[in-house]
Amino acid sequence: MVKEFSWCGFTWDQIEKMSTEEFIRYIPSRERRTFRRGLSDAMKKLVKDVQESKGAIKTHCRDMVVTPLFVGKTISVHSGKEFVPIIIDKDMLGHRLGEFALTRRRVAHSAPGIGATRSSASLSVK
């Protein structure tokens, strides 16, 4: 038995038929305010690129809210160092692109290097 997709009580068919104004009513207030104040030029350019393009799109616009228009597209979001490709899924609706392109990585240290002092060579084995 496959679970049917549901977002805020709507099926995917209903969400696709919604206008942008209707969709805005159901996203969280912080994201709703972004649309009410008006999109920035970079956001408008990103929406235009998503409508016209079929390939991967590169953007620095981490604060863009994911709308039904973006679902199924691959968007490469800049993480501060590189572009992280993100395949937009239905579950990402209402979130911002920057939430999926992490800017910090886990630090993994190895053994002490050449020239290390004797005290750092004897690490505890806990």
Per-residue pLDDT of the chain (126 residues; tens, 9 = 90+): 778 888 888 888 998 898 888 999 998 999 999 999 999 999 999 999 999 987 889 999 999 999 999 999 999 999 999 999 999 999 999 999 999 999 998 888 877 777 777 665 566 656
What pTM value is reported for the model? Answer: 0.78
Residue 2 lies in a domain: no
Residue 26 lies in a domain: yes
Residue 119 lies in a domain: no
Residue range(s) defining the domain that contains residue 90? 12-103
Residue 45 lies in a domain: yes
Residue 109 lies in a domain: no
CATH number of the domain that 66 lies in?
A: 3.30.860.10
Domain count, the chain: 1
Residue 18 lies in a domain: yes
H/E/C letters for each residue in the chain?
Answer: CCCCCCECCECHHHHHHCCHHHHHCCCCHHHHHHHHHCCCHHHHHHHHHHHHCCCCEEECCCCCECCHHHCCCEEEEECCCCEEEEECCHHHCCCEHHHHCCCCCCCCCCCCCCCCCHHHHCCCCC
